[in-house]
Structure 1
Amino acid sequence: MTGGSLVTNIVVAVKYVPDATADRTFSSDNTVDRDNVDGLLSELDEYAVEQALQVVEAGEGEVTVLTVGPEDAADAVRKALQMGADKGVHVVDDAIHGSDAFATSLVLAKAIEKLEYDFVFFGMGSTDGSMGIVPTLVAERLGLPAVTFGSEVTVDGDSVTIRRDGDAATQEISASGKVVVSVTDQTGEARYPSFKGIMAAKKKPVDTWSLSDLGVDAGEVGLENAWTKVESFEPRPPRTAGEIVTDEGDGGVKLVEFLASKKFV
């Protein structure tokens, strides 16, 4: 990724998610259980932070990290600051609990409107919801173009160009002015925070905003106002012991019979 000679300010929206390696489940209200599992900055958002840092490091500007979530979501902002972001914003309000992608996009858009920015970067999706629609929803609310799922991103002045790799073709898409960008995990490895970065992050400013600070009514967010909800869930059944077949010269026949019984052949 390259940066132009102009001062470039980038807002990177990130999410605090349950650790994907942990046993994840839902709470009694059918929302993701975030209390009984360790959380962290979504790995897919680390790529967005990395690309934003590369743009700013190639020229001038600042990277502001924005998250919406509970108190613990401050950890996601802290990780991005340790990577090199300049400042953070954490929107936290009890009324946000259970918000779907549509409500989340509203809160993000209202927060972004309060910030100084040229571009808004997102990861390609979150590792918990895996919807991937929030970047375009935010772009729609802000009235901005969106270039999404970029596996390569180039910024030149006030224009941005991405390469989007599909199953059968590759597209090159450009936009200028203020633009919303989402990047994939193919854009390059995200950096690890250095000891110097970890220490420097402790002095970087982090603003905490509520819904009232954004002018968002509690009736527009939250589980009761969500357009999408989890109606029910059940734990994945435990693994059963596999079936051992002793090959006594007819192993191939037994294998075919097994596959046929499962309708694989």
Structure 2
Amino acid sequence: MKIVVCMKQVPATSKVDIDPETGAMKRMSGETRTNPYDLFALETALSIREKTGGTVTVLTMGPPQAEEMIRDAYTMGADEGVILSDRKFAGADVLATSYALAQGIQVIGGADLIICGRQTTDGDTAQVGPAIAEHLTIPHAAWVAEIMDVNEKNIQVRQDLVSVSQVSEIPYPCLLTIDKDTCVPRLPSYLLKKATSDRPVRILSFEDMPDQDLSRYGLIGSPTSVEKMFAPEESEKQVYLEGTAKEKADRLVALLTGKKII
């Protein structure tokens, strides 16, 4: 089975630079980390590969520094890594991002199973995975909480959808978005780190895409735009409540109510 895992580097801190013209984050500013949800996606892919055989390819879109994330995935067991990296991809919204990733999947020969994290911690839209499936015209299941069965023809999953739990059986090729806490991501292996130190990471640019219509990619191909983006203000103010237990409880309730937290 050929499995593709879509992953992303996200800011590891709120201290990032914002492009004053586009309102988008400058991806090469500040520290980054692998999107936490994507670690569950990668672990799911590796576990399925252990049962069915095949390969796991990690695909991402971003600046060249994303190679660091790919190499971390190698130390967990991924077989191949591909980065879509081109200035023409910059500033992409959900539609343009998902389209570029769908094109990239076609370039590497397609996949039997595509797995994404439920969402990213920077965008939080939870829409890129389903949008990739729509671009590729394949079935998908979002918010997957459990892989129930895997066989040669289809995969059976349980989805937790807010107020209901649904079991779906989906034929290949298909796409899943994996919720957090569905599994425990394995730790990186030092032996794999040494064994994969020379393993190449494939870089794809706009020129490699099957569709050369520039209006489908990056900022130009994004029908939505960011009006304003800013880092949240840091606040370390502490409030101490005194009095009896009941008095402190009453003051706490009043404080939380005033801040519209409850």
Residue 127 of structure 1 pairs with residue 103 of structure 2: no
Q: 1:94 to 1:156 in 2, by over 3 A?
A: same
Which residue among 21, 31, 34 is the counterpart of 2:27?
A: 34
The equivalent of 2:183 in structure 1 is: 188
Q: 1:203 to 1:224 in 2, by over 3 A?
A: same
Normalised by the size of structure 1, how large is the TM-score?
0.86
| Separation of aligned partners in 2, 1:12 and 1:118 | 11
- The C-alpha deviation readout for 1:124-155, integer Å capped at 9, x for no partner, is 11111111111111111111000111111132
The equivalent of 1:179 in structure 2 is: 174
| Separation of aligned partners in 1, 2:171 and 2:160 | 21
Residue 86 of structure 1 pairs with residue 79 of structure 2: yes
Identity, in percent, stands at 28
The equivalent of 1:159 in structure 2 is: 154
- The C-alpha deviation readout for 1:220-261, integer Å capped at 9, x for no partner, is 222244222221244434437455565499947983895598
The equivalent of 1:99 in structure 2 is: 92
CA shift, 1:217, in A, is: 3.1
Tell me, what secondary structure is at the counterpart of 1:58? Answer: helix
Structure 2 counterpart of 1:132, one-letter code: A
CA shift, 1:158, in A, is: 2.4
Residue 200 of structure 1 pairs with residue 195 of structure 2: yes
The equivalent of 1:218 in structure 2 is: 214
Q: 1:119 to 1:233 in 2, by over 3 A?
A: closer
| Separation of aligned partners in 1, 2:198 and 2:115 | 24
Check whether the contact 2:118–2:126 (CA below 8 A) recurs between aligned residues. yes
RMSD: 2.7
Gaps of 5+ in 1: 1-7
Gaps of 5+ in 2: none
Residue 144 of structure 1 pairs with residue 133 of structure 2: no
Q: 1:23 to 1:143 in 2, by over 3 A?
A: same
Structure 2 counterpart of 1:65, one-letter code: V
Structure 1 counterpart of 2:107, one-letter code: K
Normalised by the size of structure 2, how large is the TM-score?
0.87
CA shift, 1:162, in A, is: 1.0
| Separation of aligned partners in 2, 1:261 and 1:175 | 46
CA shift, 1:23, in A, is: 3.2
Q: 1:260 to 1:9 in 2, by over 3 A?
A: closer
Q: 1:60 to 1:228 in 2, by over 3 A?
A: same
